[in-house]
Amino acid sequence: MQATSCIRGQAVGGRRAASTAAAGRRSVVVRAAAANPYAEELKATAKYIATRGKGILASDESNATTGKRLESVGVENTEDNRRDWRQLLYTAPGLGQYISGAIMFEETLYQKARDGTPFVDVLGSAGIKCGVKVDTGLQVLPGTDGETSTQGLDNLQARCEAYYKQGARFAKWRAVLKISEGSGPSSQAILENAHGLARYAQIAQAAGLVPIVEPEVTLGPGAYSIEETAYWSERVYSHVMRLLNEYDVMLEGILLKPNMCLPGLDAPPASPADVAKYTTRTMLRTIPASVPGIHFLSGGMSEEESTLNLQALQEACPNAPWSLTFSYGRALQASTLKTWAGKEENWDAAQQILVALAKANSEAQLGQFKGPHPVPGGGRILQALRTGGAGK
């Protein structure tokens, strides 16, 4: 079939079509994006997840990271205990009012609740789309100062197809970029990670999964300023968008998961207004309006800080073309887990904390959070409880 349109990502069904430019009689080869039978579904899924007033529950910690977190509250790292913990999260009454997607680790995607209902159905009946982490962790780039490349491209197409069959409708791939005092990510790390994200996004879309593209300029030690984070984040995101474009990724069918711009851990903290000013400036400079949702990670911010900064983003950019919203892991789970501590009698209280946190962030997404916060004044939730190589 001949291509009749060259609009990126439309199901035009062509391989290559030649068109002749009238002026100058120059022959231009127009490359039509290969037909993607999932194109309309991808757009609808991304749009749904980016619904205003909703965000993503990131619960895709690897078994090793989940184990560390469970063990911190005295719960053994067994498959049943990991299942119980995820069941607590996914069955929290009312969660679907504030959460449109949940990211799962592969094990969880195939797990069932205690009563035998697959988690995919538990979430589906709450109106929550299932996502799956598809990267397989980080590997140090030789010759760099501990910079990393994200692994997982081998076999990715087959894995994504299997995840789609199991009910997943979106995917996640986390790339990590580091800033240290006086320097930012190397060009090598930026290019490598932008390439990995673009290839992943291309493959995920081919298999019907909306790719969450996560370039995390990670919050780390050092007294570097918020301006430096904004500068490096802008470099990183612009490269990522450039490579997504190079790989014909359909932007209406992705979601972005970036960091907010924060100063280094040893610098004085920034106000929500400053975080919002630099973060929205960075987004406006780099992210096209066709991307439906920008779902920020919490990245170590406290639960309250995550909500207040999200609220400030709406105030700084009231007519944002994308939904400026959340895809929080630690900022939704930390107090929930502490409250549960593996005890059946704490189950309901823990679910209530989770839903209260989700509600606070939902209100912040709409610019309507008035407080008080369900977990006021807590400290930063830093990386100690995450495993290094295995990623999230």
Q: Which spans of this chain sit near ligand 13P (rule: CB under 6 A)?
A: 58, 174, 214, 297-299, 327-331, 392
Q: Is 43 a catalytic residue?
A: no
Q: Is the CA virtual torsion 134, 214, 205, 326 positive or negative?
A: positive
d(CA 158, CA 248): 20
d(CA 237, CA 8): 20
From residue 374, give the alpha-carbon distance in Å to each of 186, 317, 358, 367. Answer: 40, 25, 10, 17
Residue sitting closest to ligand 13P (CB) = 329
Q: Locate all alpha helices (DSSP H) within the chain, ordered by sequence.
A: 39-49, 63-72, 79-90, 106-109, 119-125, 156-166, 187-206, 226-246, 272-286, 303-316, 330-340, 347-365
Residue (38 or 328) nearer to ligand 13P, CB: 328
Residue (106 or 214) nearer to ligand 13P, CB: 214
Residue (3 or 102) nearer to ligand 13P, CB: 102
Residue (189 or 381) nearer to ligand 13P, CB: 381
Q: Is 214 a catalytic residue?
A: yes
Q: Locate all alpha helices (DSSP H) within 93-216, ordered by sequence.
A: 106-109, 119-125, 156-166, 187-206
CB of 297 to ligand 13P, least distance (A): 4
Amino acid (one-letter) located at 102: A
d(CA 104, CA 260): 22
CB of 150 to ligand 13P, least distance (A): 11
Catalytic residue among 54, 178, 257, 277: 257
Catalytic site residues?
A: 214, 257
